[in-house]
Amino acid sequence: MIPRFSLARPRSLPDAFEAFDASGGDAAWLAGGTELLQVMKMGLAQFGTLIDIKAIADLRGLERTADGSLRVGALTTHRELERSPLIAEELPGLAALEARVANVRVRNTGTIGGNLAFAEPHSDPATFLLACDATVRLVSPRGRREMGVGEFVQGPLFTARDPDELVLDVVVPRRAPATGRAYEKIAFFERPAASVAVRLAVVDGTIGEATVAVGSLTEVPTLVPEAGAAFRGSEARPEALAEPVRTAFEAFGGIDVIADLNGSPDYKRHLAGILLGRAAEGALTEAIAHA
């Protein structure tokens, strides 16, 4: 059972910050509530006030900006991302990822801002967005600030967000020509046991820039620079990926993988190796299609 709490329903950012101030800091932001209400039911967190932010228009929106980036408002649900024609066109890897998040009930309710702010180690979007070099933008009574996903997510259930700050939106840079971004996971209990995101760019028939990120292996989504470096200079053909994937997987040996209910470190690292090959092929296929 959830302990008693007060509920505030602001309709603007100033009203939201006023409600937080009135709580004396004993408050939490409520968007979809799929994570927050669960931990409250389990007795792992308690707040005197929940501030329902769903009516704040500034936190909504899904659009292409003037520089070609994608702006995703914090209140955008997983289901909206899954079904958005804009996301399907500009960032199909995210649309595919969102279609496999948890279950339909969670996807209809849970939001991208809430997902990132909760920083659950076994979640999907942060790993993919890290590989995409996405930025999280925050807003508070002191103004706005922004940071990369890797800087924002600092530990399990811990981010760089101050208690009175809200995630305003997420900005994904415009896809450069001949660039592909893909995400693969293996999930046993509606959350990834291991996940890998790959971003590849093709230049004159070879792989140029390459980024590899892993999720659910460590306490936070993690870039593996050595794995990305293994792809650079390789022939940009799916049938030529075996050797760079093998070399990239060797870099996974340097990751301090954490054992959990999904398996031992060696088993989870092995799963990530399988996913690495799939994600690399998916990213390369998309890159070639947009050359």
The dihedrals phi and psi of 196, each to the nearest 5 degrees, come to -140, 135
- Vertex 251 angle, CA 287 and 266, to 5°: 115
Q: How confident is the model at residue 180 (pLDDT cuts 50, 70, 90)?
A: very high
Per-residue model confidence (pLDDT) at position 83: 98
Model confidence pLDDT, tens digit, residues 228-265: 999 999 999 999 999 999 999 999 999 999 999 999 99
Per-residue model confidence (pLDDT) at position 157: 94
Q: Which residues contact residue 143 at a Cβ distance below 8 angstroms, ignoring those fewer than 6 apart?
A: none
Q: Which residues contact residue 265 at a Cβ distance below 8 angstroms, ignoring those fewer than 6 apart?
A: 257, 258, 259
Cα separation, 30 vs 151, in Å, equals: 23
Q: How confident is the model at residue 2 (pLDDT cuts 50, 70, 90)?
A: confident
Per-residue model confidence (pLDDT) at position 147: 98
Of residues 277 and 3, which shows the higher confidence score? Answer: 277
Q: Is the pLDDT of residue 1 over 90?
A: no
Q: Tokens 């996974």 label which residue?
A: 252
Model confidence pLDDT, tens digit, residues 204-215: 999 999 999 999
How much of the chain, in percent, has pLDDT values that exceed 70? 100
Residue type (1 letter), 140: S
Per-residue model confidence (pLDDT) at position 189: 82
Q: How confident is the model at residue 3 (pLDDT cuts 50, 70, 90)?
A: confident
Residue 27: name the closest of 11, 147, 10, 149 by CA: 10
Cα separation, 27 vs 7, in Å, equals: 9
pTM: 0.96
* Average pLDDT along the chain: 97
Cα separation, 172 vs 151, in Å, equals: 15
Q: Tokens 């409250």 label which residue?
A: 40
Architecture of domain 179-289: 2-Layer Sandwich (3.30)
Give the 3-state secondary structure of residue 163. Answer: coil
Q: Is the pLDDT of residue 143 over 90?
A: yes
Domains 58-172 and 179-289 agree in fold: no
Query: 58-172 belongs to which CATH class?
Result: alpha beta
CATH number for the segment(s) 6-52? 3.30.43.10
Residue-range domain boundaries for the chain: 6-52, 58-172, 179-289
Q: Tokens 């999904």 label which residue?
A: 262
Are 49 and 5 in contact by the 8 Å Cβ rule? The answer is: yes
Per-residue model confidence (pLDDT) at position 190: 84
Conformational region of residue 127, where left means phi above 0, alpha means psi within -120 to 50, and beta covers everything else: alpha
